[in-house]
Amino acid sequence: MVCAIGIMEWQIELRKVFQPGEALNDEAKCRVAVLSAMEAAGAKDTYVNIKRMAHDRKWGNRFGDRIVKNAITNLEDMCEIVPKIIETDDGKKKSKSHYKLRNWSSGEGKSGENGERGDSPSTNSQTYVNNVQT
């Protein structure tokens, strides 16, 4: 019995490091690849150039350019990744290449940080739907 409990504890520790894959299609696999690569590059704390990352890791060859672009756009739309805000003469603009992972536990993006409203993803989705309908 002690051996069985030891094996189960070992499996728990192992799963903390290696998460089982659940991606069923190329879009899901690309999403997992993007998020994993960003985390490995330190995107929790700093902005990373996602276009350079896609080029260097040859995601276009692996998944196709359309799938890579859609995955990045969808991650931004769902507030999983946050674009860098660039100050220009015309005002603030979102970077098209520099992103970082959103830290949901710290409330990042609230109260106008990075130009966001800080709403939950469901509220942002509802706002998007309302904007599309008008």
Q: What is the pLDDT along the chain (134 residues), one digit of tens a residue?
A: 888 899 888 888 877 766 666 678 999 999 999 999 999 999 999 999 999 999 999 999 999 999 999 999 999 999 999 999 999 888 999 999 999 999 877 665 543 444 444 444 444 444 444 444 44
Name 59's Cβ contacts closer than 8 Å, sequence gap at least 6.
30, 33, 34, 68
- Alpha-carbon gap, residue 4 to 9, rounded angstroms: 9
Q: How far apart are CA 30 and CA 34, in angstroms?
A: 6
> Can you tell me the distance from the alpha carbon of 113 to that of 97, in angstroms, rounded to the nearest whole number?
19
Alpha helix ranges (H) inside 64-107: 65-77
Domains of the chain with bracketed CATH: 21-106 (1.10.10)
Reduced to 3 states (helix: H, G, I; strand: E, B; else coil), residue 21 is coil
pLDDT of residue 107: 62
